[in-house]
Amino acid sequence: LQDLTIYNPERTITVKGSTEACSNAEVEIMKKLREAYESDVVAVNQQANLIPGLNLSALGIFSTGLSMLPSTPGARGAAAATPYHPFAGSSAYLSSLYGAPPAGAFPHQHPVPEQEVVNLFIPTQAVGAIIGKKGQHIKQLARFAGASIKIAPAEGPDASERMVIITGPPEAQFKAQGRIFGKLKEENFFNPKEEVKLEAHIKVPSFAAGRVIGKGGKTVNELQNLTSAEVIVPRDQTPDENEEVIVKIIGHFFASQTAQRKIREIVQQVKQQEHKHAQGAAASQHSK
């Protein structure tokens, strides 16, 4: 029996005994599954509110993905659904990760998910497990997630961490990072009783950094309280050639994902406001 991981969420229960005893055992087991199902529905709804636009139940990470669960405990003869696979590869499955855009949002073109870049830092000793034999694991991970995944060279001979550069749309980021977190846990790079917490870096436009921090640090403090992740926006950063600065996020998988999505949301709002302001200024100039 394999341990539960973020991408191996199933365990096998074997029941032995008389027909009646097995039937009674099944009833009790299904009662417990139903209780877990109802509890996880609440959890999914809460997470969905934290990660804007992301349909977590479609990922199958929670028990709401258990389509084989019968409508009543112990019901026999219910239609047996195909066992769910939390990270199936079909395009229809992937398209269910995000809801359809609002009507009229893209009147002249098909929406193209924005490519995001996240730098995820993993223990140096875990690099081999992520790459796999002859690079097979990292290639499979990239195909599965629909992302570009590269491991940067070590900064020095004694470096304790290596940077994994993940490039792809939001759902690809979610899946690629989820598998990396899961792999590190599965391969025991962290204590079994310890949560896998990694540091992630994302870049935001320098003009939006102040909004991420908020007045007196209010926004970043609210982000940390909401997500349980540590969010750091160094104030003394010099913007890079693209006028961007780094935001550091440290936490377990869902904490990190929630913080990333919330920060992207703030940046998008700032960009929209800047765009409207520029349009207004142009219209005012034209009317003169």
CATH number of domain containing 150: 3.30.310.210
For residue 21, what pLDDT is reported? 93
Closest by Cα among 180, 111, 188 to 150: 180
Residues 163 and 212 in one domain: no
Contact indicator for 144, 89 with CB cutoff of 8 Å:
yes
Question: What is the 3-state composition of the chain as percent helix, strand, coil, each rounded to the nearest 5?
Answer: 50, 15, 35
In a domain, 167, yes or no: yes
Percentage of the chain beyond pLDDT 70 is 68
- How many domains in the chain? 3
Last residue of a domain, one of 128, 162, 195: 195
Q: What is the mean pLDDT of the chain?
A: 78
In a domain, 73, yes or no: no
Last residue of a domain, one of 195, 218, 247: 195
In a domain, 240, yes or no: yes
In a domain, 107, yes or no: no
Q: With 90 as the cut, is the pLDDT of residue 86 above it?
A: no
For residue 191, what pLDDT is reported? 86
DSSP state of 109: S
In a domain, 95, yes or no: no
- At residue 101 the predicted structure's pLDDT band, cuts being 50, 70 and 90, is very low
- At residue 9 the predicted structure's pLDDT band, cuts being 50, 70 and 90, is low
In a domain, 265, yes or no: yes
Average the pLDDT over 45-74 and give the result: 43
Residues 183 and 250 in one domain: no
Residues 208 and 189 in one domain: no
Residues 183 and 227 in one domain: no
Residue-wise pLDDT tens digits, 182-194:
999 999 999 888 8
Q: With 50 as the cut, is the pLDDT of residue 25 above it?
A: yes
Please give the span between the terminal C-alpha atoms of the chain, in angstroms, as a whole number: 75
Domain range for 128 is 116-195
In a domain, 227, yes or no: yes
